Amino acid sequence: MAGEPGTGGLTARNLGRPEGATAEETRKRLLQAAATLFARNGLQGTTLGEIAGAAGLTAPAIYNHFSSKDDLFIAAVCSMFDEIAAAIDETVSAPGGWLAQVTAVLGMIHELYREDMVLQRLGHSALLECARDPDRFGAIRAARAHIDAPFQRIIGDAVNAGELPADTDATVAGAVLASLVMSGIASYTLLHPSLADFDGAVDAFRILVVDGQRKPLRLVGQG
């Protein structure tokens, strides 16, 4: 079948989603391609044409799923944050004190690690865009808060159990702990991207935060 005039031989099917693919499958491919390119080149350095090409589509087909590049960027970031939050939330549902739960999270995040640095780079890029224009990217901030929530629950339970001081602000302390775990390790691995480096960063965090709480450092001269 010949293509429509002006489409360079492409048929109507070529202009839409790949034959046999559902709308949800096509949307998922777009999100995956977008996450990779936004992580590599940033929001401003990525075009819809590049994303469409990486997903095996044409640029106009993107508008069947997303209204703009901003909309696609927000969806890709929010999808990533929601997946991370769900994995953490499932992990901290296990019984045990707050140190045991943080240790469980540290053991789990190894499964999230990717040497292509998509998670680290996209996460940092998203937070910078959100800081620059919080109104435009408010949905990203809300999605990032989903990662804070399980850590806030950990701290809240620890306060109620008497494991932490009663005046601890669980909302703030939980969000800070989430940032230390996620952004802190991610920042280090941006410059040290191997899996061995990642595991080393996790081990260092465990020693500084978890083991440091279990075995307080003794000052010279103390009995």
Residue 87 is encoded by which pair of tokens?
A: 């994995």
Q: Cβ neighbours of residue 127 under 8 Å, at least 6 residues apart?
A: 140, 144, 183
Tell me the one-letter amino acid at 115: E
Condensed to tens digits (0 to 9), the pLDDT of residues 69-110 reads 999 999 999 999 999 999 999 898 767 789 899 999 998 888
Separation between Cα atoms, residue 220 and residue 60, nearest integer Å: 68
Per-residue model confidence (pLDDT) at position 95: 74
Per-residue model confidence (pLDDT) at position 177: 94
Same fold, 13-66 and 69-214: no
Condensed to tens digits (0 to 9), the pLDDT of residues 154-210 reads 999 999 999 999 999 999 999 999 999 988 888 898 888 888 898 899 999 889 888
Please count the CA atoms within 13 angstroms of the CA of 165 that sit on its side-chain side: 4
pLDDT above 90 covers a percentage of the chain that reads 58
For the chain, which residues make up each domain, given as ranges? 13-66, 69-214
* Nearest Cα to Cα of residue 98 among 146, 150, 144: 150
Q: What is the mean pLDDT of residues 108-116?
A: 81
CATH topology classification for 69-214: Tetracycline Repressor; domain 2 (1.10.357)
Rounded to whole angstroms, the maximal C-alpha distance in the chain is: 88
- Cβ distance 86 to 147 under 8 Å? no
Separation between Cα atoms, residue 32 and residue 27, nearest integer Å: 9
Per-residue model confidence (pLDDT) at position 4: 31
Q: What is the mean pLDDT of residues 123-128?
A: 94
- Which helix (H) or strand (E) element contains residue 46? none
Does position 119 have pLDDT exceeding 70, yes or no? yes
Does position 135 have pLDDT exceeding 80, yes or no? yes
The total number of residues written for the chain in this structure: 223
Per-residue model confidence (pLDDT) at position 79: 95
CATH topology classification for 13-66: Arc Repressor Mutant, subunit A (1.10.10)
Per-residue model confidence (pLDDT) at position 105: 92
Name the pTM for this structure: 0.82
Per-residue model confidence (pLDDT) at position 6: 33
Does position 14 have pLDDT exceeding 80, yes or no? no
Does position 20 have pLDDT exceeding 70, yes or no? no
